[in-house]
Chain A
Amino acid sequence: MGGVLAFQLYDWHYFFAELMNGLTLGSLYALIALGYTMVYGVLKLLNFAHGDVFMIGCYIGWFVLTGLGGVLAPRVPLVPLLLLMFAAAMVGCGALNVAIERFAYRPLRNAPRIAPLITAIGVSFFIEQTAVLLWGANPRQYDFFELRNGTLFNPPAFTIGNLSVQYAQIFVITSAVFLMFALALFVSRTRTGKAMRAVSFDREAASMMGIDIDRVIMVTFLLGGVLAGAAGVMWGIVQSSFNPYTGFGVGLKAFTAAVVGGIGNIGGAMLGGILIGLAETFTAGYLTSTFQDLVVFSLLVAFMLIRPTGLRGAPVLQKV
């Protein structure tokens, strides 16, 4: 066993491939983590259902794709097809997230924190089971590998010696980074962004300064949903399949990514997502793929126990 490990370590091609996979996966986690971190920052609420919003994004993309002929006989060229899928998923998931906030969380705005958390679990459950009810529990795939005879994946976009990168991976990683920067700009430059930060510091004071709390919270959820929808379509493109329960595990990991990076911190969410994506991929690639979840979850538990404020978070001072 040790010998195989040593050999694999010298297999740079494999290493780099795993690295790219990890970065891609991590970018997806990062996009979803952004939604968690924003909502937690503004409401101090863990939106358990966010992972399932992401899952719905996968399905919306699938419906658009299939509606336009599917991968094997698309009626629309690639770029508009992608745009349509993304647009539909982002709009749909944004709306869904807003609806969840409006109907499930708003009545509990002032309740002790256990209440909205349990409601969130209920909502998550409800969305998962509705998906099973409407669409069945069988996994679905985009089969993007078939698109144009797999040219999104092979031959690779560019190759340096032994190391190669796929178009799809470049696309996912750069889109994620782009969206993160857009979000960061929005939060730091626009009025609504400043309002979001104010609300996350002190909701009552913000409302007394004339900020429309309901609207700010709605925008937060909207943005989170939009990002989750984008992540959903991207998942369909680069991952093998999804089913109604995909959102559960992904959501857990993405929330932990947000915690790892420092909850409420946008750059931190990106960092955390990448780290977890890498950890997961390398564990599966080098250590054990059967127990990959066990290892990753154990690492996450250890992290949360040792440093719950995250890598870039500030410790919260409690006024006694």
Chain B
Amino acid sequence: MSAEVPTPSGPQIGADEWVARSNERILGPRGPFGAVVRAIDRTPRIIILAVFVGFVAAIPFMTSNGYIQGVATDTMLYILLAMGLNVAVGWAGLLDLGYVAFYGFAAYMFAALSGGHLFTGGVLLTDWPTPAAVAVAIVATIFLGFVLALPTRRLRGDYLAIVTLFFLEIFNNFTNNGDRWDWLGLGGTHDVTGGTTGIIDVHPWRIGGTELTNYSRDYMWVALGGFTVLAVALMYANKSRTGRAWRALREDPLAAELMGMPVKWLMLLAVAVGAGVAGFAGSIIGAYHQQVSPDEFTFVLLITVYAMVILGGAGSLGGVVVGAIIVNVLLEVLNRPDHARWVFYAAVLIGLIVKVRPWRLLVAVLGGLVAFGVIVNQIVGAVWPRGVDGPIAVGPTAFTKQGFFAGAIRHWLVLPAHTYTIPHYTIGNYAFVIVLGLVLALTLVKGWKRWVLLVPMIWGAAFVWENLLIEQAPTVRPLMLGVILIVLMTTRPAGLFGQQRVEIV
């Protein structure tokens, strides 16, 4: 009964091609950053990897500063952790909040196997050759990954997150109190994990007869070597059928299952691979620090790694590496007040330059900012001399207290003297809350009011920075992590290099 229906002509190849390309241009990041990203996209991955590895390997030769070498080693370990977390979270879309337990487990295993603390009443396992200890630690961690993922394979996103978090808490509870393990009141007391001190006297790695005791470079190279192998392996895994299956699982687990992909097994696999990477990192850190203690494997570390993965872009191998570098460097810089100060002003400046357009508006905002500060400074100075008398962040170097920059700050900001002798109810506290309110209010207003509000907000933030935050590195660091997570997820969940995902609800 079919009437004659005209068949449609095919797509206009030329026109559609252009449409397709312009779509790519629109979807990708814009501006100078976009140009950088596109240039990087064009370079073959192997070359980027080789350049990176070469550069990092040369760091111990480029500087003899022990601190920088230490940061490099820490960063390499973070990079490994971020890559491992990326497998479960970025590729398979599984929110694993217990990841750090794998890291800790591997560290404890390696420490137990290669010297250090003894298990009371148990088998003495000390001083295994390094390759054996590392291999066993990694395999055991992968096994643990399977064991933990197996009962959770049916859980949805939030529930999976909570259960994995429980695993981490159980791990913490056990390691912290493991020097008094008594089989829950039924057996004698055994010292299994060394309690809050942990395991000490962990032997260094011994490869081919040489002990790795040059702590400033050896373990960085080990981590770097492992990173190279893992980066290539994970790149291949991502391009393979398993990588596609993980991504399909992230998109739509039911559809994936019905298209022949064994979803539950893939979930196990993703967790296990991530655990394996964490296992490798764990077997390094014990030897590097020569000890293993429970407060290295906490929820704070987990959030740090998450911030790295999210900032870099969950799902992008290169992205999480960059994210790890940025976050760790930021954390290190925040540790020292005089360096940290620069970070704040640099961040504000960069943020303004990137976000405030056109340039006339930028100039107006900057000018208003300077004027505002100077005016307030003069008023306060006239009314309450001690208000502008205070020192500029008691830091170790004289540069912070004198010099042009310090002088500029002194005339721009209000620095009440002795803010730190009044315990806790300081002006800084109130200012913090007020600035927080201003930031939130800023998200509510639109148009010109936004730029007007921006000036007191930035000034207030600088005020809080100089008077309150700069001293309290241990608190500012996690605070910053929380802010990173919140801001990223609400404004740019794909992070720097992640794929801008489309969710059709």
Q: A residues within 8 Å of B by Cβ?
A: 1-2, 5, 40, 45-46, 99, 103-104, 107-108, 110-119, 121-126, 128-130, 132-136, 248-249, 252, 255-256, 259, 286-288, 290-291, 293-295, 297-298, 300-301, 304-305, 308, 318, 320
B184 touches A287 (CB 8 A): yes
Chain B residues positioned under 8 Å from A135 (CB to CB) = 424
B485 touches A121 (CB 8 A): yes
Q: How far is the CB of B237 from chain A (nearest CB, A)?
A: 21
Interface majority SS (helix, strand, loop, mixed), chain A: helix
| Pairs A-B, 3 closest by C-beta atoms | A122-B485, A126-B482, A125-B482
- The docked-state distance in angstroms from the alpha carbon of A304 to that of B155 is 9
> Which residue of A has the minimal Cβ distance to B187?
A1
A115 touches B493 (CB 8 A): yes
Most B Cβ at <10 Å: residue of A111, A115, A125, A297:
A125
B141-171 interface code vs A (CB 8 A; 1 in, 0 out) = 0000000000110110111011101110110
A115 touches B163 (CB 8 A): no
Q: B residues within 8 Å of A by Cβ?
A: 93, 95, 151-152, 154-155, 157-159, 161-163, 165-167, 169-170, 173-174, 177, 180-182, 184-186, 254, 299, 303, 306, 310, 424, 429, 432-433, 436, 440, 443, 468-469, 472, 475-476, 478-479, 481-486, 489-491, 493, 501, 503, 505
Q: How far is the CB of A280 from chain B (nearest CB, A)?
A: 13
- The docked-state distance in angstroms from the alpha carbon of A304 to that of B166 is 11
> Which residue of A has the minimal Cβ distance to B162?
A255
Q: How far is the CB of A283 from chain B (nearest CB, A)?
A: 9
Chain A residues positioned under 8 Å from B481 (CB to CB) = 122, 125
- The docked-state distance in angstroms from the alpha carbon of A2 to that of B155 is 38
A118 touches B489 (CB 8 A): yes
Chain B residues positioned under 8 Å from A134 (CB to CB) = 424, 429, 432-433
- The docked-state distance in angstroms from the alpha carbon of A150 to that of B289 is 49
Contacts A129-B478, A291-B184, A293-B173 given; does A122 touch B503 at CB 8 Å: no
B254 touches A320 (CB 8 A): yes
14 pairs from A and B in contact (CB 8 Å cutoff)? A45-B158, A46-B161, A112-B501, A114-B95, A118-B489, A121-B303, A122-B482, A122-B484, A122-B489, A124-B482, A287-B184, A288-B182, A294-B170, A304-B162
Contact check: which of A46, A107, A295 meets B162 at CB < 8 Å? A46
> Besides the contacts A122-B303, A288-B182, A291-B177, what 9 more A-B pairs have beta carbons closer than 8 Å?
A2-B186, A116-B489, A122-B484, A122-B489, A249-B169, A252-B166, A288-B184, A290-B182, A301-B163
Contact check: which of B169, B186, B469 meets A252 at CB < 8 Å? B169
A133 touches B432 (CB 8 A): yes
Contacts A113-B158, A126-B483 given; does A294 touch B173 at CB 8 Å: yes
Q: How far is the CB of B268 from chain A (nearest CB, A)?
A: 14
Contacts A125-B481, A133-B468, A301-B167 given; does A256 touch B493 at CB 8 Å: no
Chain B residues positioned under 8 Å from A298 (CB to CB) = 166, 170
